[in-house]
Amino acid sequence: MVKVLAFSGSTRRGSLNQAIVECAAQAARNAGAEVTVINLADYAMPIYNQDEEDDYGVPERAQAFKQLLIEHDAFLIASPEYNSSYPAVLKNAIDWASRKVGDEAVLAAYKDKVVGLMAASGGALGGMRVLMVLRMLMQNLMCVVAPQQVSVARAGEKLDAAGKLCDEPTQKQLAVLAQQVVSMAEKLKA
Ligand SMILES: Cc1cc2nc3c(=O)[nH]c(=O)nc-3n(C[C@H](O)[C@H](O)[C@H](O)COP(=O)(O)O)c2cc1C
């Protein structure tokens, strides 16, 4: 069974992106995957500094995040758009997880991992611009990024009373993305 790790690039309480990644996680389970949802708030790590890495190594929580990436075949990533790009908290976690420790293979966390991208924003563009730069970043890290992607515009208006962002149109789009991610990961794993 394909293992999928789902996380967002927001550590904000009430994050729209954490809400859509949870909806996408359910869609991936429906597509036959085993899914782990995490919140980067639980993996708080310092801003990357090479001197500190040289002196103290990769921090425990950064290594724990990287280990999760290594153990999963595919990732579902929902990113906020900050000034048309990804937030520092997401890039920082991705950077730490790109660092090789011991006898790990180069880019062990990323090579040949299938990635499904999505974004949610309160605005009319739904974070479309972050999807382009995040796609480029993940591809440069040797991931295989699914052609499908989802952006949810005016996402704040689509939250239900329980804070879930899984209205029917969003759910349908996320199902198409999740099915593609799971199917690509199955093929790469075979
Ligand atoms: C520093 C900053 C820059 C932002 N830039 C954009 C932007 O370029 N495009 C956009 O649609 N929203 C932008 N926003 C609004 C975020 O998309 C919005 O806060 C969103 O809810 C964040 O995602 P979250 O709910 O998952 O935390 C920005 C917000 C912040 C704090």
Q: What are 1-22's pLDDT values in tens digits? A: 999 999 999 999 999 999 999 9
pLDDT value at residue 189: 92
Contact call for residues 18 and 8 (beta carbons, < 8 A): yes
Q: What are 88-125's pLDDT values in tens digits? A: 999 999 999 999 999 999 999 999 999 999 999 999 99
pLDDT value at residue 21: 98
H/E element, 55 = helix 50-56
127 in contact with ligand 1, CB cutoff 6 A: yes
Residue nearest to atom 27 of ligand 1 (CA): 15
pLDDT value at residue 43: 98
Hey, CA dihedral for 180, 181, 182, 184, is it positive or negative? positive
Distance 81 CA to ligand 1 centre (A): 5
Q: What are 120-178's pLDDT values in tens digits? A: 999 999 999 999 999 999 999 999 999 999 999 999 999 999 989 999 999 999 999 99
Q: Which of 13, 83, 134, 154 to mutate to test the pocket of ligand 1 (most atoms within 8 A of CB)?
A: 83
- Structural domains in the chain plus CATH codes: 3-189 (3.40.50.360)
16 in contact with ligand 1, CB cutoff 6 A: yes
Residue nearest to atom 22 of ligand 1 (CA): 80
Distance 120 CA to ligand 1 centre (A): 9
Q: Which of 10, 82, 86 to mutate to test the pocket of ligand 1 (most atoms within 8 A of CB)?
A: 82
Q: CA–CA separation, 115 vs 102, rounded Å?
A: 26
Average pLDDT, stretch 29-46?
98
Q: What are 48-94's pLDDT values in tens digits? A: 999 999 999 999 999 999 999 999 999 999 999 999 999 999 999 99
Q: Identify which of 47, 42, 52 has the alpha carbon closest to the alpha carbon of residue 11.
A: 42
9 in contact with ligand 1, CB cutoff 6 A: no
